[in-house]
Amino acid sequence: MSGTVTMEKVVNLAKRRGFTFQSSEIYGGLASCWDYGPIGVELKRNVKEAWWRDMVRRRSDIVGIDCAILMHPRVWEASGHIAGFTDPLVDCKKCKQRFRADKLGDVPCPEKPSKHPGECGGELTEARQFNLMFKTFMGPVEEDAAVVFMRPETAQGIFVNFLNVLNSSRQKVPFGIAQVGKSFRNEITPGNFLFRTREFEQMEMEFFVKPGDDERWFQYWLDERFNWYVNLGIKRERLRLRPHATDELAHYAKGCADVEYEFPFGWSELEGIANRTDFDLKQHAEYSGKDISYFDEESKERFVPYVIEPAAGADRATLAFLVDAYDEDEAEGETRAVLRFHPRIAPVKVAVLPLLRKDGQPEKAKQVLDILKEQWVVQYDQAGSIGRRYRRQDEIGTPFGITIDHQTMQDDTVTLRDRDSMQQERIPIERLVDELRRRIEI
Ligand code: ATP
């Protein structure tokens, strides 16, 4: 019975139920910066945790790292960001707004009725290149020598630590280094809620391979990353892999494909998977003067590894999980939202609900709550009719509801309700943790 998902419905629900709030809202808000509320923070943590579990913890060939956001300015010279991390920018002489020259069709201009830039009769200036890195100063003096940048990607922290990780862990090529953390880009036209913001979190992994093995590994990571979203419940028909055309490829990349999701505003990139060759390690070797290469004990060869990079966005993925889970159904003549999250992604896993506010049921429910909160994020709710309480939970996507009723007080069993099938089963309290674990950790 699903109605059409629109961004407006998702954004409204997100605010009403505490997924996200506009940054600094009481001061009028800061454009395209978002804060995650009590439910949203759990959702985003689950997305990052699912990524870390599948990309690091469950594998023996990938290790993690957590680098400083501020890095030596030479890093960005070597990486090419100072010279080339730019977007073409145009100004409209009539409305005085700035737009990305290559995305004019995607954004409205402020002229009403809303038009695309250049269609309001205003003249657009020639495009000029605008560097997307945020600059700041390190230390008390604001001078050129003190300029540092807020990292625009997490990948470079991995490349500059390649030798450190190699020498301190027992990894051998092929192996990967993974990182989750904030990145900053002074985007010209941010928008579409969490999709494009100026401060966001990335989940990036650099996988180092022997040159010659790179194409096999590139294909491997395309499949792995596509399936990651499917396994966490994203509808396969709303996902696709789009290989980049040759003229879209970065000059150093041998191949690149995006995992795209069909958002209400159209097919858009969720994650990019690139074969970056040996470009980054060679650049850092040249700029730092260090020998950044790998000696293969087996073949007695020295080489600079090639790199396959799956680079995802935690906020974009969170948005995709939110949009994809959005559904509507009818209850008592009313249309209501239900978020059908995969149990691993759902922000709250279980709701504990005493049927009555008397006869010892609230006390019993709190005992159950205490057991479950050791394992998962759990909510207790005793306010209003049971139907209304289930609806509140369905709206934030809680997959399981536990009801404490008259029978519980006699035989220590509870009912366990499944959000999607709405089926209820009676289960002894002592079996609850095992049963929920079986259903959540799939
Ligand atoms: P786009 O073409 O959308 O600007 P990109 O190709 O520049 O993205 P990458 O540099 O490959 O993006 O970054 C990897 C991932 O980081 C993206 O797939 C996306 O999920 C995320 N990301 C990049 N820029 C932003 C942003 N401004 N806001 C939110 N997430 C972002």
> Which mutation among 20, 269, 315 tests ligand 1's pocket best, with the greatest number of atoms within 8 A of CB?
269
Task: State which ligand 1 atom lies nearest to the alpha carbon of 314.
Answer: 20
Distance of CA 362 from the midpoint of ligand 1 (Å): 47
C-alpha gyration radius of the chain: 25
The residues pairing with 205 across neighbouring beta strands, listed in sequence order, are: 178
Distance of CA 5 from the midpoint of ligand 1 (Å): 23
Specify the amino acid at residue 362: P
| pLDDT tens for each residue of the chain, 442 residues long | 456 899 999 999 999 999 999 999 999 999 989 999 999 999 999 999 999 999 999 999 999 999 999 999 999 999 999 999 998 999 888 888 888 898 888 778 877 777 888 888 888 999 989 999 999 999 988 888 899 999 999 999 999 999 999 999 989 999 999 999 999 999 998 999 999 999 999 999 999 999 999 999 999 999 999 999 999 999 999 999 999 998 889 888 999 999 999 999 999 999 999 999 999 999 999 999 999 999 999 999 999 999 999 999 999 999 999 999 999 998 778 889 999 999 999 999 999 999 999 999 999 999 999 999 999 999 999 999 999 999 999 999 999 999 999 999 999 999 999 999 999 999 999 999 999 999 998 8
pTM for the whole structure = 0.94
Query: Which residue's CA is the closest to the ligand 1 atom numbered 14?
Result: 311
Structure tokens at 315: 């906020």
CA-based torsion, 352, 357, 360, 362: positive or negative: positive
Distance of CA 27 from the midpoint of ligand 1 (Å): 28
Alpha-carbon gap, residue 310 to 205, rounded angstroms: 6
pLDDT of residue 1: 44
53: which DSSP letter? I
Distance of CA 185 from the midpoint of ligand 1 (Å): 9
Structure tokens at 143: 């001078």
Task: State which ligand 1 atom lies nearest to the alpha carbon of 195.
Answer: 29
> Which mutation among 202, 234, 258, 261 tests ligand 1's pocket best, with the greatest number of atoms within 8 A of CB?
202
Contact between 254 and 214 under an 8 Å Cβ cutoff? The reply is yes
Distance of CA 288 from the midpoint of ligand 1 (Å): 27
pLDDT of residue 142: 87
Alpha-carbon gap, residue 416 to 127, rounded angstroms: 60
Alpha-carbon gap, residue 32 to 22, rounded angstroms: 8
Query: Which residue's CA is the closest to the ligand 1 atom numbered 4?
Result: 196
> Which mutation among 192, 200, 205 tests ligand 1's pocket best, with the greatest number of atoms within 8 A of CB?
200
Alpha-carbon gap, residue 119 to 114, rounded angstroms: 10
Query: Which residue's CA is the closest to the ligand 1 atom numbered 8?
Result: 269
Alpha-carbon gap, residue 417 to 383, rounded angstroms: 18
Specify the amino acid at residue 418: D
Measure the CA dihedral 273/11/384/374, to 10°. Answer: 30
Alpha-carbon gap, residue 147 to 77, rounded angstroms: 13
- Which residues have C-beta atoms less than 6 Å from ligand 1? 153, 185, 187, 196-197, 200, 202, 269-272, 311-313, 315-316
pLDDT of residue 149: 97
Q: Which helix (H) or strand (E) holds 204?
A: strand 199-209
Distance of CA 152 from the midpoint of ligand 1 (Å): 10
Task: State which ligand 1 atom lies nearest to the alpha carbon of 197.
Answer: 28
Alpha-carbon gap, residue 415 to 432, rounded angstroms: 10
pLDDT of residue 159: 98
Cβ count within 10 A of residue 84 = 11
The residues pairing with 403 across neighbouring beta strands, listed in sequence order, are: 353, 415
Lookup result for tokens 């990052």: 48
